[in-house]
Amino acid sequence: MEHIFISNGCTQLVLLPENDLDKLLLDKILGEGSVEVELIRQPVSILGKSVTGGIIIRKQSTSLSHDPDQA
């Protein structure tokens, strides 16, 4: 996956899939609705590797969606 940062008044991150698997996985995350982005502030284990300071992009959790009983 290639990435490009654009900073022209509004900073953006562009992810460019480089193969069919990248395209498939991006579609799996983005093709079914909203996503959430979380900054990794403390060490977390991802596939056995300790990671700090990255971001996680995932489908928005249904528990975080708007609950009509909450104002």
Which tokens sit at 9? 């008044």
pLDDT over 50 at 3, yes or no: yes
Side chain identity at 60, as an amino acid letter?
Q
Q: Where are the domains of the chain?
A: 1-32, 34-64
Residue 51 has pLDDT above 80, yes or no: yes
70 has pLDDT over 50 = no
The predicted pLDDT at position 8 comes to 92
**Cα 1 from Cα 12, distance rounded (Å):** 16
Query: What is the residue-averaged pLDDT of the chain?
Result: 87
Residue 71's pLDDT band, with cuts at 50, 70 and 90, is very low
Kindly state the average pLDDT of the residues 9-37.
Answer: 93
Q: Which residue has the higher pLDDT, 22 or 66?
A: 22
